[in-house]
């Protein structure tokens, strides 16, 4: 193969659609700290995602830190999953919070509410769950556990842009949800993110915190940070948003071909799509290869197909965390470990040609 095939490739809006907005920015010289495109993107995203409030941020990691800060979670322990992108745990550590890990459920990839409950102590201050691959967590189970102990529940919904469950946005679950608009995600602003709040007061708190805590020219209401999204990225996002439905439809049809081609390969398992009452975004195409996953990864790589082992290693196995957590008894998390040791995410992005996809599945069948 001539050029490498990456696991994802950023979706970009047509340049012609961006150009008039860029001209306007050059004319107005309003570059950041809010502006027309920022206001419009917050409005249009709220409409598209079907949530009352959207607060744009500079990225998904800062979105998590802002959510924790706005909910007043400033010390103690937070129960989270080892099966995620490292940023989920990094955000806790940067916020001075101690991550405590619970296992994922044996079916699926998200936190098991029963395992979460086992980790709760008087030091527990919140639960941070992740909708891995955009598959909804067991939200009812997590809500029950959080409710029983009076704990705030935050969702890292970085993979769950546009996902709906029982006719409602998945982003309505929990006390707050965060999004990432990084170039690798279903919807991107190159870098960017958002926090989804339940109330206007909370949205306003996030909006102050992302701008150093300023509540006016001469007043600071909290230890804020700089997490603002600039006008260029907001304009890019407005142009991208017009195409996101097409992008998801295209992802859906590629997902269907993968399922058709790989569903009966004995050496691997294709995890089922989310339940019927879920409108999914087809953000990833993971397969589980219990034997020889790394060999398959290497062989595909030598053919120029760069799959990714999302999420391997487990967060608890990365060196800074191994040392940081050495003194605490880390939960065994056998389900997370099994997933990490067998998962392989295959290339999936809207302009992946079907021919290329079929070449990938043919090679996988050959190597398995
Ligand atoms: C991408 C991602 C993040 C981090 O988002 P950034 O915008 O890159 O900071 C956090 N959590 C998960 C699950 C992600 O996939």
pLDDT (tens digit per residue) in 173-226: 999 999 999 999 999 999 999 999 999 999 999 999 999 999 999 999 999 999
CA atoms within a 13 Å half-sphere pointing along the CA-CB vector of 355: 1
pTM check: above 0.85: yes
Mean pLDDT of the chain: 97
Q: Which of 156, 159, 109 is nearest to 281 (CA)?
A: 159
| Beta bridge partners of residue 169, listed in sequence order | 164
CA 63 from chain centre, in angstroms, equals 11
From the CA of 182, give the closest atom in ligand 1. 7
- Alpha-carbon distance of 22 to 16, in angstroms, equals 10
- Residue positions counted in the chain: 368
- Ligand 1 binding pocket includes 60 (Cβ within 6 Å): yes
C-beta of 193 in contact with ligand 1 (< 6 A): yes
Per residue, the 3-state secondary structure of 144-162, as one string, reads HHHHHHCCCEEEECCCCCC
Task: Please tell me the class of the 15-241 domain.
Answer: alpha beta
Nearest one of 205, 192, 289 to 233, comparing CA atoms: 192
The DSSP H or E segment spanning 293 is helix 293-302
What is the DSSP annotation of 8-54?
-------HHHHHHHHHHHHHH---SSS-HHHHHHHHHHHHHHT-S--
Cis previous bond, 313, omega within 30: yes
Best residue among 80, 81, 87, 283 to mutate for probing ligand 1's pocket (most ligand atoms within 8 Å of CB) is 87
Rounded to the nearest 10 degrees, what angle do helices 15-28 and 231-241 cross at? 150
**pLDDT tens string 93-152:** 999 999 999 999 999 999 999 999 999 999 999 999 999 999 999 999 999 999 999 999
User: Which of 361, 283, 248 shows the shortest CA–CA distance to 109?
Assistant: 283
Q: What atom in ligand 1 is closest to the CA of residue 130?
A: 13
Residue 188 CA to ligand 1 centre (angstroms): 12
The values of phi and psi at residue 82, to 5°, are -80, -10
pLDDT in tens, 9-45: 999 999 999 999 999 999 999 999 999 999 999 999 9
- Ligand 1 centroid–CA 318 distance in Å is 17
Confidence class of residue 331 from pLDDT cuts 50, 70 and 90? Answer: confident
Give ranges for CATH 3.40.640.10 in the chain: 15-241
Q: Which atom of ligand 1 has the smallest separation from the CA of 185? A: 1
Strand partners, 19: none
pLDDT at 328: 73
DSSP class of 83: S
Pocket of ligand 1 contains residue 131 by CB under 6 Å = no
Rounded distance from Cα 8 to ligand 1 centre (Å): 14
Average pLDDT estimate for 230-254: 98
Q: Which CATH class is domain 244-367?
A: alpha beta
- Whether the CB-CB separation of 154 and 84 falls below 8 Å is answered with no
Which is it for strands 124-130 and 77-80: parallel, antiparallel or unpaired? parallel
DSSP symbols for 300-364: HHHTTEE-B-TT-S-GGGSHHHHHHTTTS-----HHHHHHHHHEEEEP--TT--HHHHHHHHHHH
Give CA–CA dist 62/91, Å, rounded.
7
Does ligand 1 lie within 6 Å of residue 8's CB atom? no
CB 134 near ligand 1, within 6 Å: no
Cα of 144 to ligand 1 centre, how many Å?
Answer: 26
Tell me, rounded to whole angstroms, the distance of Cα 352 from its chain centroid.
21
User: Does any ligand 1 atom lie closer than 6 A to the CB of residue 92?
Assistant: no
Pocket of ligand 1 contains residue 231 by CB under 6 Å: no
Indicate left, alpha or beta for 279 from its phi (over 0: left) and psi (-120 to 50: alpha): beta
Q: Is 189 in the pocket of ligand 1 (CB under 6 A)?
A: no
pLDDT for 2 equals 67
Q: Which of 61, 116, 68 is nearest to 90 (CA)?
A: 61
Per-residue pLDDT at 325: 82
DSSP 133: G
Q: According to CATH, where is 3.90.1150.10 located in the chain?
A: 244-367
Return the half-sphere exposure (C-beta side, CA atoms, 13 A cut-off) of residue 209.
24
Cα(59) to centroid of ligand 1, in Å? 8
pLDDT at position 327 = 74
Identify the three-state secondary structure at position 273.
Answer: coil
Strand partners, 305: 5
What is the H or E stretch that residue 70 is in?
A: helix 60-70
Distance 138 CA to ligand 1 centre (A): 20
Prior bond of 70 cis (ω within 30°)? no
């Amino acid at each position: 193969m001539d050029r490498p095939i990456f696991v994802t490739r950023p979706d970009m809006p047509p340049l012609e659609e961006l150009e008039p907005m860029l001209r306007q920015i050059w004319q107005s010289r309003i570059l950041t700290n809010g502006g027309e495109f920022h206001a419009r993107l917050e409005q249009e995203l709220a409409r598209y995602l079907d949530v009352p409030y959207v607060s744009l941020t500079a990225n998904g990691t800062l979105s998590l830190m802002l959510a924790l800060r706005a909910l007043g979670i400033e010390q103690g322990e937070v129960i989270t999953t080892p099966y995620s992108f490292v940023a989920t745990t990094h955000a806790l550590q940067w916020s001075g919070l101690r991550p405590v890990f619970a296992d994922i459920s044996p079916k699926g990839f998200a936190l098991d509410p029963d395992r979460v409950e086992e980790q709760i102590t008087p030091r527990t201050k919140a639960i941070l769950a992740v909708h891995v691959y955009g598959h909804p967590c067991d939200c009812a189970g997590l809500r029950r556990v959080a409710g029983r102990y009076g704990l705030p529940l935050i969702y890292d919904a970085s993979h769950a842009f546009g996902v709906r469950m029982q006719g409602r946005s998945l982003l309505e679950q929990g006390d707050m949800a965060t999004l990432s608009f990084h170039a690798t995600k279903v919807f991107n602003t190159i870098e960017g993110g958002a926090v989804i709040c339940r109330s206007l007061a909370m949205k306003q708190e996030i909006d102050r915190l992302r701008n150093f805590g300023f509540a006016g020219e001469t007043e600071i209401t909290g230890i804020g940070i700089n997490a603002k999204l600039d006008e260029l990225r907001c304009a890019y996002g407005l142009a991208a948003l017009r195409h996101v439905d097409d992008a998801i439809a295209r992802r859906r049809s590629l997902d269907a071909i993968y399922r058709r081609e790989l569903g009966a390969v004995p050496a691997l398992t294709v995890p089922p799509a989310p339940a019927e009452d879920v409108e999914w975004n087809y953000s990833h195409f993971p397969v589980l290869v219990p034997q020889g996953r790394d060999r398959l990864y290497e062989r595909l790589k030598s053919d120029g197909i760069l799959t990714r082992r999302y999420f391997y290693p487990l967060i608890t196995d990365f060196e800074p965390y191994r040392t940081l957590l050495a003194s605490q008894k880390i939960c065994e998390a056998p389900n997370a470990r099994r997933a990490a040791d067998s998962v392989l995410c295959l290339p999936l992005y809207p302009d992946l040609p079907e021919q290329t996809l079929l070449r990938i599945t043919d090679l996988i069948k050959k190597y398995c």
